[in-house]
Structure 1
Amino acid sequence: MRLADRSMPGMERVNFRDWILRSALGCTGRANSTLANGDPGLGIEEAIRAVESWYRERGRGAIFQIFESADDLGPVLSAQGYAASEPTVVMCAPLESVRTGEAKRAVVHCDIPPGLHSLVGEPDRVTEITTTTLDKLVAVVSGDDGCALGCGMAVIDGTAAGIFAMRTATDAQGQGVGTIVLAALVTTAHEQGVRDLWLQVEHSNIRAREWYERIGFLEVDAYRYWHPSVSSLR
């Protein structure tokens, strides 16, 4: 969970002992939520009020990111009118055990190249990706006409790398583009000393989860975002 936080931190961050409050200009959950893991240094009720006040000052409702492996806060938030999102699954694998095949046709960049934003989509997501302070790799597979068919990114943190923004153009799906993209990221990350990989995928995306399992990833945790309902906003 700390790896994910460091990979895509919010532009503004405040620590409540173990909790991390994050805010950014965009609307992505990771950069605009509180990573509520561990001891906030206050009583739970007081900590929730403090978090709500902090986000209210920034014109936002409080959002809590809570991992299932450390979810003692969920019932408290539920009782106060918060609702949980669909879970996102965290998967990990030793790099050498990931079976991706050859990285043919993929070009790896150190930043998002021009013209790729339309494939990644979600302008806030692009902003979040490009503002990370860690080293990143962007793999792109292009068609004969030069248009991007697929892309993906790895953010390197020491000997670990997180895989993000795996995208395939609609008319290129089912052609193995994602496999080529991931192979390029894995190969280049290995050359830079990475030994472990992790990624996040929506629980409902069964096809993607099964694919990641087939190539060597295992589910190790999951998290949800807890959002305030209209009645719970103060």
Structure 2
Amino acid sequence: MKHGMEDYIFAQHRNLDGYDLGLYAIFDGHSGHEVAKYLRSHLFENILSEPGFWENPVQAIKKACKATDDEILENVADSRGGSTAVAAILVNGVKLLVTNVGDSRAISCKNGRAKPLTVDHDPEKEKDLVESRGGFVSKRPGNVPRVDGQLAMTRAFGDGKLKEHITAEPDMSIQKIDEDTEFIILASDGLWKACDCIKNVDGAQKASKKLVKEAKSLGSYDDISCIVIMF
């Protein structure tokens, strides 16, 4: 079934409290675009305004994600739909905070080799989490595992009708950006065969466009969004 584009991209440079920040995110909406749109406008603002962000960024980001999800469920009319989020905060060009909710992904490329920075929140892998919250995971022939037979991930923002059985709690990682780091890719699940086809491309915008073109040529029919951060 065809539908309108439901992904949103965020990329911004900001100076805050004496720190040089690069803010990057992919929000992959499903069953509507309003949740992803809300995340683009509010998630980073909530994270960076969270007390204690600089002292304990992991705890602050988790609290901000919970607060943002609560806002969505209360204020966004289309909160029956939902969105994944993969977000990165680059601090002074040397430290990278990566946040993931859902099945969008981040990878880094060092010396020509890809390294996953996130793990997909897959219903089969997190079946115990779903069942502990009173839900179930089912899989129809020829389809992917789904929470309550509906959602193909265990973590998402929004999805009010499934919220008792899923969560918006993120996975977090902190990465050091060193001289061997060539680039970072954030992308929605519509794209994934990444490092090889862009390792000789000059410029992040050209690289991201080439990745999307490659994914389409391989037959991906999903929404495709991509950010490449080059070093």
| TM category, shorter | under 0.3
| TM-score with structure 1 setting the length | 0.25
TM-score, scaled relative to structure 2: 0.26
Structure (1 or 2) with the greater helix fraction: 1
* Structure exhibiting the larger radius of gyration computed from Cα positions: 1
Q: Does 1 or 2 have the higher relative contact order (CA < 8 Å, sep 6+)?
A: 1
